[in-house]
Structure 1
Amino acid sequence: MPLLATSTINQLLQTTLGLYNAKFSNAIATSQSLGQSSFNKNTSCSNIISFVLNILLCHIRSCPVLVRDDPFKTFIYGDIKILGPQLLKLILLLKSVQSSVPNEKNKSRIEGQRDNLHQALICLKDMLMIYLQGPHFAQLLEDLVSVCITEYGFDGENVTYVINDPKIKNIEIFVVKILKPLLSELLAISSLREAEVFGDIMLMITNKLPCQLRNSHGSWATQICKSNGIKDSKVVRSLVLLAFQLSSPPDDLIFAQDVAIELCKVTGSASDDPVEMSELYPVVNKDTSIAVIICILQSVEAIICDVDWAIRK
């Protein structure tokens, strides 16, 4: 059962966001004036954020359990998508804190902030999953895009193609302005747990785009696979899925074939010794080869099942 109503959690998020924003600004000012970081003074604020995010996650996950017409659900939950903009602002702020830490010594001091960022991303992912197939998904995306406009001053005018459908345009803006840049930043600073969640969110969202737009994001994910020697199997699985499922034919087949060839080099054969890492796709290496094999086989199996169904019909 929920602990607090949606409106109360929204107020807690706003208060926490204001408190943490002030703490972060003060920490930056102190760091610049004294030549040292003072992020370690924010432990109590980090604990508050953790408390609020735990309540929020339980609230989001318990929402689909109740029957749609249950009056208790209407009274307590109301419209949980109003939590989306505040949650996204908190994610952007937590990411800024993590990116602003200058050295490894200070990074160890803000491990709590990293956990909070991961928790906040899980909350956003679960919220999007609730609304993904419903009629209010477009409104949630519009609210999130409004955060993009507020925080970045981005209105989507520099998108290189004309998108007449406002729903599709909001998805594209959200992917281009939030998901792809933040995923790249998290990979650059080795925040792999957070990058994995961003990859899952991006796969969910981009599947609602038309083929042409999906293919451009598939090409982007393919380039990520060619330029990163990541050894975390979960992150690599997420990236390979993005590149494979978002690529249009025949690009998806070409990608799968190229990755299969590189897998053979990494796993070795009767005539060739295995290599440590693929030169063409560094994400294919000894640590990730099993995950990539499973990912490709599962994707191919789904396609074969669809083709088999079509043939039988």
Structure 2
Amino acid sequence: MDKNLEKRFRERAVTLGNCGDPAGLAELIDLTRLPVANVRRLAASAIGKLAGLADGRDAVAALQPLLQDAFPQVRQYAAKALGAYGIQAKCALVDLRDMAISPVEKDYNNTCAKLAIELIEEATRIEERKAEHCCQRCGVKLEADEFTRSKKAFQRPFCNYCFDEVFIERRNFETKVQLQKNIRAKDGTWVQSDGERLICEILNTEKIHYRYDERFRILDGYAIRPDFYLPEFDVYIEYWGMDTADYKIGMLKKQQLYQQQGKRLLSLYPDDKPRIRHMLLEKLAKYK
């Protein structure tokens, strides 16, 4: 880029940031896309100065990609600016956390990212304390301690009365599931069906580590219990062993959830049992 043109862009970014006019955001967003690191850096800084004035969603959407910029100072100023947007920048927390602990990142960027995280999380806590929350079951307004307790335990808001009911329901469900595990695989795992037993024994023979029937949270506020999870493959296995209408409805909902969250799902059915070893290993080979 021509030096004089680059200088004009840099000066324009500084002017737009200092004037405090939210109407300048669109122009600053355009400047973040230019192929000059110093212009992108100054544009990110200027967008940060418009926090509380300009549209937070548009500002954050422009800043977040700059956390992956090839130039460390652009990443630095993007992190600083995101911190200024507080709760509006909550969507950038994952990227900021990666930046904060990255061993290949500059020290000053690790520090900037940590500070931005603190600012965003504190703004989120303040906003949650101000907000009114109601019980998901009965609709009653929650006290702060009720909201904190239920969100920590269930990721859902419940009053203390409903919390106890949900806890008992959950415990009874867990007990019912455990009682249904009456088939033992060769490695000692208790499972619910002969198909699951075969899968256990195949995985054990192949020395593939698995976690059976454990609760996973793959979506905020929603937990699932896959039949099997293979950590080294990052693959979920479901053995769809029943043929009732209610079961099939639940199966379709669960399959849709896996798909929406971009998870690797390997499905097996009772008709697969004669060839289940071949089918299982063949499908897993795709993920090695």
Query: Which structure: larger Rg?
Result: 2
Q: What band does the TM-score fall into relative to the shorter chain?
A: 0.3 to 0.5
Which one has the bigger helix percentage? 1
TM-score w.r.t. the length of structure 2 is 0.36
TM-score w.r.t. the length of structure 1 is 0.34
Which one has the bigger strand percentage? 2
Query: Higher relative contact order at CA 8 Å, sep ≥6: structure 1 or structure 2?
Result: 1
